[in-house]
A and B are shown apart, each in its own frame.
Chain A
Amino acid sequence: MNKTVNQKAWFLILPVLVLVAFSAVIPLMTVVNYSVQDTFGNNQFFWAGLEWFEEMLDSERMWDALGRQLAFSAIILAIEIPLGIFVALNMPKSGFWASLCLVLMSLPLLIPWNVVGTIWQIFGRVDIGLLGHTLAAMGIDYNYTQNIYAAWITVIVMDVWHWTSLVALLAYAGLQSIPDAYYQAAKIDQASRWKVFRFIELPKIMGVLMIAILLRFMDSFMIYTEPFVVTGGGPGNATTFLSIDLVKMALGQFDLGPAAAFSIMYYLVILLISYVFYTVMTNLDKREGY
């Protein structure tokens, strides 16, 4: 849609601008402020320059958390994206069953994140949980509060449980928009199921798939509540991801300077990915001919 140039439209944006400035810009400036200063209490601050940034870049703690974070995001993407597509391909196309599938699949998406944690905490416990109890009965040594691998597997399976439906729903929306004529043409050409997927369905859902990948990457990159409830970042620091580490540092130990420097670097990474996301979105809009 070609839009009219109208500078007065700024007045319509103004309320949003004021509100978001209050809830985003001011806090962010506080963070910037802390990141370049040092304090010895009593609200006395000293200019520290880039000291905190250097300290954080040298700190093993942050790199470890970042490593764990990237590993986590990579693993869940590698599982959720193919699984989501696979589920979407198998969903009923219309009618009662399609509605039922949509509703049931959406259910995990709407559960409060801490309750997701609670559900898996209960489900995985060896003494009272269905999963933990079954695994223990099968003779598998599974205890997510002590065993690092068990903790990781629990957190990953929980995320797959929580978010695969999102990928599936997006892919499903993309598949629904493919005209029937494409499939008829493929049938005439006697294309195999794989070829239909590879040359018709996959290119057509590529746009929404990119959105799904970026959304899942972003949200997994700042995951906090679910692992916090299940493992509390443990055993040891095994499941301490970036956000958990940051909250520990900022609100637990009140290390304002390092935490602020950490925050800013974290934020810059997010900004970069947001930009990729935005570019994909606008390209998608253009292709749809808005």
Chain B
Amino acid sequence: MADTIATLRRSRRIKGSAVVMGLYLLFLLLPIYWLLMMSLKTNSEILNSFTLWPRDLTFDNYRTILTDASWYTGYLNSMAYVVMNMVISLAVALPAAYAFSRYSFLGDKHLFFWLLTNRMAPPAVFALPFFQLYSSVGLFDTHIAVALAHCLFNVPLAVWILEGFMRGVPKEIDETAYIDGYSFPRFFVQIFTPLVASGIGVTAFFLFMFSWVELLLSRTLTSVNAKPIAATMTRTVGAAGIDWGVLAAAGVLTIVPGALVIYFVRNYIAKGFALGRV
């Protein structure tokens, strides 16, 4: 008897949880659903009638983006600086994270803290000086300028996340390898890097994400040649006669890269956002 009551209460609690999660996920997905539906409608349907799903299904909005150079170069530009940033950040962060996770040296804690402050620094503070710095060295409106600017928050992020992963690798492995006569570079490339491969993958994902979602710096540092998709989108807004369908389609296309790989990093999402801790 008592047992059945307990199971009953348990199943009721599970049902309650399901309702809560259902409502929460509904709240999360509804705006995205609306964006998706809008991207599949014609502009006259968007503006003249209010429909919950497209009556007049069209892929013209996507066709516009994928064929109009002023739109798709935005994606290419974004991709270019995001990948550059990822490569640079990982290249410098890997040895640094190793040093922080293994050795103590003069000023290590202060340095680690200083890195953190750069991740936390408001990009708005850096917008103007970046603009002047990169203009004066002739890098304004190039992909590399944005990639370097994004290092401001991505390098500290990479160091912190990688350090979190590297601490999980036992130190005995290093010591054994040194005894076996491995030199440091060889040990690092052949033994250590494969051991933290999943950490590197997760870090790369977050570097990609944070560079991809950023708008303020990438907009400030570019005008034509390296204009990111984010800036292309905001400049369309506010002009007379907004093409809502195309805007929605452009938005959907920016979500795709994240949505594609999200499944692989699902268990590390919390860790990545919390800078390698948790």
Residues of A within 8 A of B (CB): 1, 3-10, 12-13, 15-17, 19-20, 22-24, 26-28, 30-31, 86-87, 90-92, 99, 101-115, 118-123, 127-131, 133, 161, 165-166, 169-170, 172-174, 208, 211-212, 215, 218, 221-222, 224-225, 229, 232, 242-244, 246-247, 250-251, 256, 259, 263, 266-267, 270-271, 273-275, 277-278, 281, 284-285, 290
Chain B residues within 8 Å of A, Cβ to Cβ: 16-17, 20-21, 24-25, 27-32, 34-35, 38, 46-47, 50, 52, 88, 91-93, 95-96, 98-106, 108, 111-113, 115-118, 120-133, 148-149, 151-152, 155-156, 159, 167, 171, 209, 212-216, 220, 230, 233-234, 237-238, 244, 247-248, 251, 254-255, 258-259, 262-263, 266-267, 269-271, 273-275, 277-278
What are the 6 tightest A-B residue pairs by CB atom distance, in nearest-first order?
A: A110-B258, A27-B129, A222-B122, A12-B99, A243-B124, A9-B103
Main secondary structure of the interface of B (DSSP, over half): helix
Q: Which residues of B contact A256 (CB under 8 A)?
A: 128
Chain B contacts of A106 at CB under 8 A? 262, 266, 269
Determine if B273 and A109 form an interchain contact, defined as CB atoms under 8 angstroms apart: yes
Q: Would you call B266 and A102 a contact (CB within 8 A)? A: yes
CB pair A13 B20 closer than 8 Å: no
Interface centre among B24, B38, B233 (most CB of A within 10 A): B24
Cβ B38 vs Cβ A122 within 8 A: yes
Whether A224 pairs with B216 at a CB distance below 8 angstroms is yes
* B266–A99 CB distance below 8 A: yes
In the complex with contacts A9-B99, A30-B133, A277-B120 CB distance below 8 A: yes
Cβ of A22 and Cβ of B270 under 8 Å apart?
no
Chain B residues with CB below 8 A from A103, complex form: 262-263, 266
CA A25 – CA B141 in complex, angstroms?
22
Least CB distance from B51 to A in Å reads 10
A107-B234 CB under 8 A given contacts A90-B17, A225-B216, A247-B124: no
| Chain A at the B interface: SS class | helix
Contact with A270, one of B31, B121, B275 (Cβ below 8 angstroms): B121
**Among B52, B102, B116, B273, which residue has its beta carbon within 8 angstroms of that of A9?**
B102
Q: Are B220 and A251 in contact (CB under 8 A)?
A: yes
Q: Is A110 within 8 A of B237, CB to CB? A: no
**B277 and A285 contact, CB distance less than 8 A:** yes
Contacts A16-B159, A103-B266, A225-B215 supplied; 6 other A-B pairs, CB < 8 Å: A1-B167, A19-B148, A107-B29, A111-B213, A161-B28, A247-B127
